[in-house]
Structure 1
Amino acid sequence: MSSSQTNTPTQKTHAPIASKGKFSGKGGKGGKAGPKRYGKDKKEPILGCTKPAIRRLCRRGGIKRIDGLFYEETRGVLKCFIDNLVLDALAYTEHSRRKTVSVMDVLYALKRQGRTLYGFGG
């Protein structure tokens, strides 16, 4: 036998043994902030307005019982309202040759739609 051929068993490469610690996920130890968390990818941002959030708004408005189809209808109306508001606020921003939408732009857009909001300056 030559010196390059030794009689040692072949070494197998194994995956590292997972630690049994509290933060053993893909995020590593995570430092002070904790491990990284990746939520579900939302297909549409309007789905972020969840059923319980809509239910809380309804309770605040005095509604007791809510139909199952009401949630989708509410999301549609909310999306339309926010789209119109953003377009109006953006028009005010572009007219004043700015790239940042200010609070006053949103307030003027709300006033234009007939929903005056007080308490935010101006």
Structure 2
Amino acid sequence: MAETTTSSSRKSKVLKAAAEEVPVGKPGSRQRRVLRESIQGITKPAIRRLARRGGVKRISGLIYEETRGVLKTFLENVLRDSITYTEHARRKTVTAMDIVYALKRQGRTIYGFGG
């Protein structure tokens, strides 16, 4: 008797799961992770390496947060312009040329990415 109740409860669980199954295909929009404080991903050693490349020998402790703030502002400006180029072309994908044009607009021309 106990065996039949266990199997019947198992069957009901399976049927319940099958009834709640998501249909095949695209059920809705893709979930995106909200990025907060991702600027902290620019680590102290990464900032130190950039400074070394620029010829800096010794770095003050206050430089790291200041550098993160400047980098965030710079990227916001470049990305705002590049997204404007993308939306004007009625695309959803930002291309390398959008970034090149955005940088050129800000007076920082780069070579080697087409165009």
Query: 1:83 and 2:76 equivalent?
Result: yes
Which of 113, 117, 121 aligns to 2:114? It is 121
Whichever residue aligns with residue 58 of structure 2, its letter is: R
Whichever residue aligns with residue 95 of structure 1, its letter is: H
Per the normalisation by structure 1, the TM-score is 0.65
2:50 is matched with: 57
Whichever residue aligns with residue 74 of structure 2, its letter is: F
Query: 1:108 and 2:106 equivalent?
Result: no
2:89 is matched with: 96
Residue 101 of structure 1: CA displacement?
Answer: 0.4
2:23 is matched with: none
The aligned length equals 81
2:59 is matched with: 66
Please give the alpha-carbon distance, in whole angstroms, between the structure 2 residues aligned to 1:113 and 1:61: 21
Please give the alpha-carbon distance, in whole angstroms, between the structure 2 residues aligned to 1:118 and 1:43: 32
Gaps of 5+ in 1: 1-41
Q: Residues 33-48 of structure 1: matches in 2 within 5 Å?
A: 43-48=36-41
Gaps of 5+ in 2: 1-34
Please give the alpha-carbon distance, in whole angstroms, between the structure 1 residues aligned to 2:77 and 2:56: 26
Higher helix share: 2
The CA RMSD over aligned residues, in Å, is 1.1
Please give the alpha-carbon distance, in whole angstroms, between the structure 2 residues aligned to 1:43 and 1:98: 26
Over 6 Å off, 4+ runs: none
Higher relative contact order (CA 8 A, sep 6+): 2
Please give the alpha-carbon distance, in whole angstroms, between the structure 2 residues aligned to 1:50 and 1:43: 15
Secondary structure in 1 matching 2:53 = helix
Residue 97 of structure 1: CA displacement?
Answer: 0.7
> Between the two proteins, what is the percent identity of the paired residues?
70
Superposed CA offset, 1:21-57 (max 9, x none): xxxxxxxxxxxxxxxxxxxxx8500000000000000
